[in-house]
Structure 1
Amino acid sequence: MSSDLSIPIPKSTAHQALTCIDALIEEYRRQRPAGGSRMVGDLIEFREAISQSMRASRDRTARLGALTLARISDRLTACAQAEVGPAELQAAMWRTAGRLHRWVAEGTAPPPATRSSSSRAPGLR
């Protein structure tokens, strides 16, 4: 469930994601909506990926695949839009999804283009 590109995120953000995921699992188990068992399975998979990354890290970051982070962010956003859980959980999901999205965007951005010193501006030849 990871992509080739591993992105470091702060462990504090990873903890926030775990908290949201655990709360969502609890909500889905309590409400038992249609399709909820698949959702819980996906959330458990996300929880395991984050937990393993945090245990493997010896510094203040957890490294996760860009695809995994994007999927977690998308799932949190979708659950917040669907108004799953209490207002506090929805607010936490919006915040955490935004943070994860930012880390993915920053971690997958191409390096800035630079001009070599021998190149000329167009039209000055």
Structure 2
Amino acid sequence: MIVKSASTHVFSIDSFIEKFSEEIRTFHNSHDPIDKDHHLRFRFYLATYYFQNERYEEGIKNTLRCLALTLILNNQTFFMQCVALFEAQRHHATEPQKLEYRKIMQEIRMFERVDVTEVKETH
């Protein structure tokens, strides 16, 4: 993936992002689980790319999108990576972004309670 390479090897993909901006905006419309997984990875590496280029607002925005996708896909690995990424850049987040992060964390706690209840009921 070009976005991952740009994050790893530190080269500009701004023209790529601009060229495919419409496709990127509509990426979230897919209901295909494989597309959602690609979207998750894309957002994570795009956030990393933006942070490396000191574009913090865009980095936080993509981290939050990635976190929301981890809930849909139940992807614990990327969830932990996104939380670590957000926390490392928290001081750059706006108050609305911090509020959105807290809401996502509350959702996670609600899911965890449901999972625990379901386990208890089956025994």
* TM-score (norm: length of structure 2): 0.34
Compute the TM-score of the two structures, normalised by the length of structure 1.
0.34
Higher relative contact order (CA 8 A, sep 6+): 1
Is the helix fraction higher in 1 or 2? 2
